[in-house]
Amino acid sequence: MPLDTEATPLGIGAVALLLALFYGGTLLMSLSIRRRKENADRYMTAGNNIGFGISAASMTATWIWASSMYASVTAGYTYGVSGPIHYGLWGALMILFIYPFGRRIRTVAPRAHTLAEVMYARHGRSSQLMLAGSNVLGSLISLTSNFIAGGALIAVLSPLNFGAGILVVAGGVLLYTLWSGFRASVLTDFAQVVAMLGAAVVVIPVVFFAAGGPGMFEAGVAAGHVTPQQESFFSSEAFMNQGAPYIAAVLAYAIGNQTIAQRLFAVREDLIRPTFVTATVGYGATVIGIGMLGVMALYLGIDPMGGDVNNLMPQMVSTYLGPVLLAVAFLMIIGSLSSTADSDLSALSSIVMADIYGQSVGRSAADPRTMLLIGRLTMIVATAAALYFATSQFNILDLLVFVGALWGCLVFPVIASFYWPKVTNAAFTVSVLAALAFFLPVRFGWLPAVGAWGLAVELLATIGIGVVLGIMAFGFFGLRPAVMTGTLAVAVSAPFTFFFLRDYEVLSGSLVAYAVSFLVCYLMSVRSGQDFDFERIQHVTGNFDDTSTAEQEDPDEDPDDLVLASDRPGPRS
């Protein structure tokens, strides 16, 4: 829907030029690293050896998606000054909290491609398929969401309609990702992060001063545009409705999302920490900073167009920026959605290549050329599916909630599986299914949270608080501090949670999922006689393409000169 029916902020020529510059530039970048014969493993993880600059840029670009910008602006507009903090800070800290687990995962499976592949090595097929299935669904939803954001942006700022917008975005992303896969994704992420961060540096202060500068705050309060809660940096409303559910959700997102796992397997092992720390700061500052546009809109008393808060960001930039900076802001949003969309395509192709094809035929029997073909076909099919979902009346938000819950159910069993040899395949599978069975009625209010059921939900949610904080403490400080933190969290929060949490279904649902998966997984594993040898994982996971091993032994050799294993005569090793 255009902002103005008579004239859109950007003409069709300007939008066409910007899109051609952006997607043409990223295509040229990906062509510069193109190989005649791509290597199947590098197509998925770029040889497990990428440097700090590319990995930090890629992690930051992937974590910032268009929805995070829109959501942060919405949080600022809805909850006031603390809103963007309760969106961006927790999202950023989750990158930080996940990195100790990332190091452990990388240690036990240095040459893996997907987390599901590692779960196959650890537990077997059912655990792998649970994780892979949730990854596929999550990446497809994310891809759809990014196409929708791109189509909507183009429709708002230009004479092009939504359908044309999503086609351009989908075609542009597919074009530069298709041939070189993950390698193209991470390299173009650098250009995209420069566009995004560079635009944020300029756009935020320019809008601030163009909208009236510091005077807007006093004027906004005097005009009654803000409530005391919205003026407060410590708004309980913002924490309970935005921050707390998000803490639980993004921890699950970080563990369950293949785009993050893929970068974890790609970066040089000693660079995992600086990569995650840089991405934490980069994501947090960018997303919170963009959220300031929502805070400004609140103080200025701006009504979102058509009552849709998603229009606020394009509304703010088109109102207060001139044509050049408006173009910069346009590229910022296109960069954010494209970087995540190409990561989703790479993630989907890797899952199908490694978890569906690779594991079904066996690592030694997998043909790298077939794998590459399957990976590229997956990208094409995924793009078509996302375009279909984007244009249909499918409720993306409901699906996103479902996938988030599924990931919430997976967090404890996945993490425990990397540290505790007693966790069995049955414990993993049953705990995830049980957690999901409890989550659904709580989140969607299928059973009224009253009486004994209400108390049970609050008891589980209270335990869930301990589980979430215990998991976070475990990553950095080990088991004993984690148990102490979790126990203390339950004891401190219990007096406040009963007869209170039942009113917050989103938060309770997530916490119940954590609690049930923890309780079932722990109780089923604690008496098991299994003593899993983690060394086995690195023997089960590994390279599919023989040329990967040759490159790792001699990284200076030009891989184009190497002969694909499948081209060699004789039986494959």
Other C-beta atoms within 10 Å of 570: how many?
5
Token pair, residue 87, equals: 């969106």
Choices 202-210, 341-349, 497-505, 562-570; region in contact with another protein by CB under 8 A: 202-210
Choices 46-54, 119-127, 159-167, 251-259; region in contact with another protein by CB under 8 A: 46-54
Of 67, 127, 128, 286, the one binding another protein by CB under 8 A: 286
Instruction: Output 535 or 556, the one with its CB closest to another protein.
Output: 556
- What contacts 169, CB < 8 A, 6 or more positions away? 146, 147, 150, 151, 154, 334, 337, 338, 341
- What contacts 16, CB < 8 A, 6 or more positions away? none
Is the Cβ–Cβ distance between 77 and 312 less than 8 Å? yes
Residue 282 binding another protein, by CB under 8 A: yes
Is the Cβ–Cβ distance between 545 and 37 less than 8 Å? no
Of 156, 295, 374, 469, the one binding another protein by CB under 8 A: 295
| Minimum distance of another protein from residue 222's CB (angstroms) | 12
Residue 316 binding another protein, by CB under 8 A: no
Residue 223 binding another protein, by CB under 8 A: no
In the 8-state DSSP scheme, what is residue 224? Answer: T
Q: How many residues bind another protein (CB under 8 A)?
A: 43
Token pair, residue 452, equals: 């004994």
* Residue 555, helix vs strand vs coil: coil
Residue 301 binding another protein, by CB under 8 A: no
According to CB under 8 A, which residues from 261 to 280 bind another protein?
278
According to CB under 8 A, which residues from 137 to 196 bind another protein?
183, 186-187, 190, 193-194
Is the Cβ–Cβ distance between 246 and 86 less than 8 Å? yes
Residue 336 binding another protein, by CB under 8 A: no
Residue 198 binding another protein, by CB under 8 A: yes
Virtual CA dihedral for 469, 253, 277, 482, nearest 10 degrees?
20
Distances, alpha carbon 122 to alpha carbons 352, 422, 533, in Å: 19, 11, 9
d(CA 344, CA 346): 5
Instruction: Output 54 or 140, the one with its CB closest to another protein.
Output: 54
Virtual CA dihedral for 15, 21, 24, 30, nearest 10 degrees?
-130
What is the pattern of x (binds another protein, CB under 8 A) and - over residues 111-130? --------------------
Choices 201-209, 372-380, 405-413, 564-572; region in contact with another protein by CB under 8 A: 201-209
According to CB under 8 A, which residues from 496 to 555 bind another protein?
555
| Geometric angle at alpha carbon 142, from 246 and 11, rounded to 5° | 110
Residues at the interface with another protein (CB under 8 A)? 33, 46, 50-54, 56-57, 60, 81, 183, 186-187, 190, 193-194, 197-198, 200-202, 204-205, 208, 213-215, 217-218, 278, 281-282, 285-286, 288-289, 292, 295-296, 555-556, 558
